[in-house]
Amino acid sequence: MEIKVKCRCGEEKCKEWAIVELQGVVEVQPEFQDSFRTLPMAKLCRPSSQENYTFSVGYHELSGSKVPLKKPFLVMKKIKHSIADKDGGDTSSVSKVELEVIGIVRHRILFKNRPKALISSSQPVVKAKLSAPGSVAHTN
């Protein structure tokens, strides 16, 4: 089986996507489990002209920086085309799979440290817990 990698970007550059990477997991509180889509998760702030950033989730704040990826990431999406069977295609249909390049990532904003608590902060709508398990952070 051969799966072709399609790219419709053509002569233009592929559209750039963004990555925000942090240690641990952002968890949605149980009461929002079914309706968290479109809700805010965090604030991303660039306090100075340097490529340093803060990421505030609930009353936790992470500090990190923008780092270029050594090699870019392609964002690819699997696409299935159904090809109708020659005999009318009522029961069996052959599907052809393709991968389409839908974006490229060249940088990530990396928060590799554990969060610090913000002492006084208003209660945000989606209280997201930030749990940092004892995992080893990426160091590049």
Write the CB contacts of 105 (distance below 8 Å, at least 6 apart in sequence).
16, 17, 18, 19, 69, 72, 73, 74, 75
Angle, CA 110 vertex, CA 68 and CA 59 arms, to 5°: 155
Overall residue count recorded for the chain in this entry: 140
Q: Is 3 in the site for other proteins (CB under 8 A)?
A: yes
Count of residues interacting with other proteins (CB under 8 A): 68
For other proteins, which residue of 63, 67, 75, 127 counts as binding (CB under 8 A)? 75
Q: Is 43 in the site for other proteins (CB under 8 A)?
A: yes
**95 HSE (CA, 13 A, CB side):** 8
Tell the smallest beta-carbon distance from residue 119 to other proteins (Å).
Answer: 19
Measured in whole angstroms, how far is the alpha carbon of residue 74 from the centre of its chain? 13
Q: Is 94 in the site for other proteins (CB under 8 A)?
A: no
Q: Is 17 in the site for other proteins (CB under 8 A)?
A: yes
Q: Is 89 in the site for other proteins (CB under 8 A)?
A: no
R_g over Cα of the chain: 21
Site for other proteins, rule CB under 8 A = 1-7, 9-11, 14-26, 36-50, 53, 55, 69, 71-78, 99, 101-103, 105, 107-109, 112, 122-126, 133, 135-138
